[in-house]
């Protein structure tokens, strides 16, 4: 029922505009609901999947019909991807940090480095060890570096 999708597959909006029969209206409403769940009607059929009419852009799978789309929406993977997409959208909507927030983060990082970081002297000792180890390694494996 679901098949992985290739990049670049085109989709089209819901059923064409104009006077609609009751069946077309129902299809349109169903497709609008699917669209909100990132499931789009394919613009053209894929040669690999000629019987598939829909594409879940969130999960990158082809879907055969509306019933299959509704089944896909209920799947654990799709629900997880929806949650991740919503979280991503919420994070993108957050305002940038204020100057006071940036100063607070900067102060916290500096304090943590002071408490848990290494001294300049320790850094130089470790750097010298790396240089010595690199020399030993290069004697045996000339192309290797640290």
- What pLDDT score was predicted for residue 71? 96
Q: Give the structural domain span for 36.
A: 2-93
User: 132 and 85 in one domain?
Assistant: no
Domain assignment present for residue 57? The answer is: yes
User: 86 and 121 in one domain?
Assistant: no
User: 31 and 66 in one domain?
Assistant: yes
- What pLDDT score was predicted for residue 27? 86
- Report which of 21, 46, 17, 45 is spatially closest to residue 32, judged by C-alpha positions: 17
Count of C-beta atoms within a 10 Å radius of residue 19: 6
User: 106 and 73 in one domain?
Assistant: no
Domain assignment present for residue 146? The answer is: no
Are 80 and 95 in contact, with CB atoms under 8 Å apart? Answer: no
Residue that is written with structure tokens 């408490």 in the block: 115
User: 89 and 57 in one domain?
Assistant: yes
User: 43 and 111 in one domain?
Assistant: no
Per-residue pLDDT of the chain (146 residues; tens, 9 = 90+): 555 555 444 444 444 556 778 888 888 888 999 999 999 999 888 888 888 999 999 999 999 999 999 999 999 999 999 999 999 999 999 999 999 999 999 999 999 988 888 888 999 999 999 999 999 998 888 887 77
User: 88 and 18 in one domain?
Assistant: yes
Domain assignment present for residue 85? The answer is: yes
User: 80 and 12 in one domain?
Assistant: yes
- Report which of 70, 40, 76, 71 is spatially closest to residue 56, judged by C-alpha positions: 40
- What pLDDT score was predicted for residue 7? 43
State how many domains the chain has.
2
Domain assignment present for residue 87? The answer is: yes
User: 73 and 32 in one domain?
Assistant: yes
Secondary structure letter of residue 62 according to DSSP: E
User: 14 and 67 in one domain?
Assistant: yes
User: 58 and 28 in one domain?
Assistant: yes
User: 115 and 46 in one domain?
Assistant: no
Q: What is the pTM of this model?
A: 0.55
């Amino acid at each position: 029922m679901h098949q992985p999708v290739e990049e670049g597959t085109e989709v089209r909006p819901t059923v064409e505009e104009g006077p609609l029969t009751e069946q077309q209206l129902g299809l349109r409403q169903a497709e609008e609901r699917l669209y909100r769940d990132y499931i789009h009607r394919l613009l053209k059929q894929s040669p690999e999947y000629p019987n598939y009419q829909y594409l879940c852009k969130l999960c990158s799978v082809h879907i055969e019909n509306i019933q299959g789309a509704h089944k896909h929406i209920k799947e654990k993977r799709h629900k997880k991807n929806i949650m991740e997409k919503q979280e991503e959208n919420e994070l993108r909507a957050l305002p940038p940090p204020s100057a006071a927030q940036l100063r607070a983060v900067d102060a916290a990082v500096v304090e943590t480095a002071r408490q848990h970081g290494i001294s300049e002297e320790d850094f130089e000792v470790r750097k010298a060890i790396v240089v010595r180890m690199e020399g030993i390694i290069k004697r045996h494996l000339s192309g290797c570096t640290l």
